[in-house]
């Protein structure tokens, strides 16, 4: 058998070229194709992660080599750093509320748009387009929309209801208003989850609704016992993606922190007026790249990473209790 195939091959190829033969082996060719990603993973994921873990245990400034100080960075960060405590509080509020806006808002829009009627396409486009624009530019627009004086669009709108203009981004009495403005911006980005929900709704077979109807299920019951259970994989996917995305909020927070001046200058903090807009990444940015405190910055980075993992795990475990996979 063995000799037969060998002679066959030799007969077929004429010349015997070991390199070409090696490249044509399925396993070798496969590894050659995925090699770019493996190399990129080693250089831009694995090495930086290990190095960040190591650096987080060191005192490491702009000049000089890292020096081992054990857990001191973590102790300072978790127990002696009020700014980080405030940042965590902000992120808890921001992530929970923004995720709720994404999931509930996206779901409601998807349910409304999940049937044919004139103008459906127009509404889809209007709701979806802003979610492609996330970033500094839309943040720049919203700094002005949340402008302090009565020229700001939001203040103009609430002025219709005779509410006096609010200083959203630099409020001395209630600095937290800046965070609420940051959360409110997410109303413009529900379209991304909406589109995924629409795809999910399209995948639910009408026979389930038919069966539920024959069994006498009402509207709410059909939503609760057919739509929701069959949509759980999609809800799970959307929740995890938005959670991870919201932990990484940066662009909008940074330009909001300019305090409406539209520029991050030398005298404005990256974290906003009285740290009112501190998020994980703006705080990491400030410590690591404004103050060049690499050791401390690494500890922050690791804590952010661990929180991301923990949140994802919590969501996965919670959903596992009532997930129905039907496909």
Residue among 148, 171, 213, 315 that touches other proteins (CB under 8 A): 213
Subset of 246-265 contacting other proteins (CB under 8 A): 247-248, 250-251, 254-255, 258, 261-265
Reading phi first (left if > 0) and then psi (alpha if -120 to 50, else beta), residue 260 is in: left
Subset of 66-95 contacting other proteins (CB under 8 A): none
* Residue 22 binding other proteins, by CB under 8 A: no
Going by C-alpha positions, the residue among 262, 238, 310, 32 that lies closest to residue 142 is: 262
* Minimum distance, C-beta of residue 142 to other proteins, in the bound complex (Å): 7
Token readout for 177 is 């208003």
What's the DSSP call for residue 120? H
Beta bridge partners of 58: 68
Residue 265: C-alpha distances to residues 132, 270, 306 (Å): 28, 9, 32
Query: 34-63 mask for other proteins (x: CB under 8 A)?
Result: x-xxxxxx-xxx-xxx-xx--x--------
Cβ distance to other proteins smaller for residue 48 or 85? 48
12/199 Cα distance (integer angstroms): 51
* Residue 156 binding other proteins, by CB under 8 A: yes
Sequence-ordered alpha helix ranges (H) in 56-119: 72-79, 82-100, 106-113
Tally of CB atoms within 10 A around 182: 28
* Minimum distance, C-beta of residue 77 to other proteins, in the bound complex (Å): 14
Cβ distance to other proteins smaller for residue 44 or 68? 44
- What are φ and ψ of residue 59, in 5° steps? -95, 120
* Residue 273 binding other proteins, by CB under 8 A: no
Token readout for 197 is 């929900």
String of DSSP letters for 14-70: SS--HHHHHHHSHHHHHHHHHHHHHHHHIIIIIHHHHHHHHHTTEE--SSS--EE-T
Residue among 89, 153, 163, 211 that touches other proteins (CB under 8 A): 153
Cβ distance to other proteins smaller for residue 71 or 309? 309
Q: Give the length of the chain.
A: 327
* Residue 196 binding other proteins, by CB under 8 A: yes
Cβ distance to other proteins smaller for residue 3 or 65? 65
What is the rounded (10 degree) CA torsion for 149, 153, 159, 163? -70
Cβ distance to other proteins smaller for residue 49 or 71? 49
Reading phi first (left if > 0) and then psi (alpha if -120 to 50, else beta), residue 29 is in: alpha
* Residue 127 binding other proteins, by CB under 8 A: yes
* Minimum distance, C-beta of residue 69 to other proteins, in the bound complex (Å): 16
* Minimum distance, C-beta of residue 3 to other proteins, in the bound complex (Å): 25
* Residue 33 binding other proteins, by CB under 8 A: yes
* Residue 234 binding other proteins, by CB under 8 A: yes
Task: Tell me how many residues contact other proteins (CB under 8 A).
Answer: 102
Subset of 107-126 contacting other proteins (CB under 8 A): 108-109, 111-113, 115, 117, 119, 122-123, 125-126
* Residue 96 binding other proteins, by CB under 8 A: no
* Residue 27 binding other proteins, by CB under 8 A: yes
């Amino acid at each position: 058998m063995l000799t037969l195939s060998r002679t066959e091959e030799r007969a077929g190829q004429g010349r015997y070229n070991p390199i070409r033969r090696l490249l044509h082996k399925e396993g070798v060719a496969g590894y050659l194709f995925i090699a770019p990603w493996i190399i990129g993973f080693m250089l831009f994921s694995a090495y930086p992660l290990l190095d960040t873990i190591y650096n987080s245990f060191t005192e490491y400034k702009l000049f000089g080599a890292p020096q081992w100080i054990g857990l001191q960075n973590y102790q300072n960060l978790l127990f002696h750093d009020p700014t980080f405590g405030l940042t965590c509080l902000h992120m808890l509020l921001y992530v929970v509320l923004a995720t709720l806006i994404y999931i509930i808002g996206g779901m409601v829009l998807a349910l409304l748009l999940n049937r044919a009627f004139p103008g459906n396409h127009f509404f889809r486009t209007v709701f979806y387009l802003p979610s492609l624009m996330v970033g500094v530019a839309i943040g720049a627009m919203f700094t002005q929309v949340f402008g302090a004086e009565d020229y700001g669009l939001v203040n103009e709108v609430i002025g219709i209801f005779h509410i006096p203009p609010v200083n959203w981004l630099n409020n001395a009495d209630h600095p937290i208003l800046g965070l609420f403005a940051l959360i409110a911006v997410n109303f413009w980005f529900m379209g991304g989850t909406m589109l995924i929900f629409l795809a999910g709704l399209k995948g639910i077979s009408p026979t389930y609704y038919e069966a539920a109807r024959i069994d006498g299920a009402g509207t709410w019951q059909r939503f609760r016992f057919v739509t929701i259970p069959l949509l759980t994989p999609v809800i799970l996917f959307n929740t995890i993606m938005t959670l991870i995305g919201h932990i990484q909020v940066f662009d909008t927070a940074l330009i909001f922190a300019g305090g409406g001046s539209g520029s991050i200058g030398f005298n404005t903090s990256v974290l906003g007026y009285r740290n009112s807009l501190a998020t994980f990444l703006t705080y990491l940015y400030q410590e690591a790249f404004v103050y060049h405190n690499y050791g401390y910055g690494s500890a922050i980075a690791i804590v952010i990473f661990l929180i991301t993992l923990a949140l994802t795990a919590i969501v996965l475990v919670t959903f596992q209790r009532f997930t129905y996979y039907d496909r």
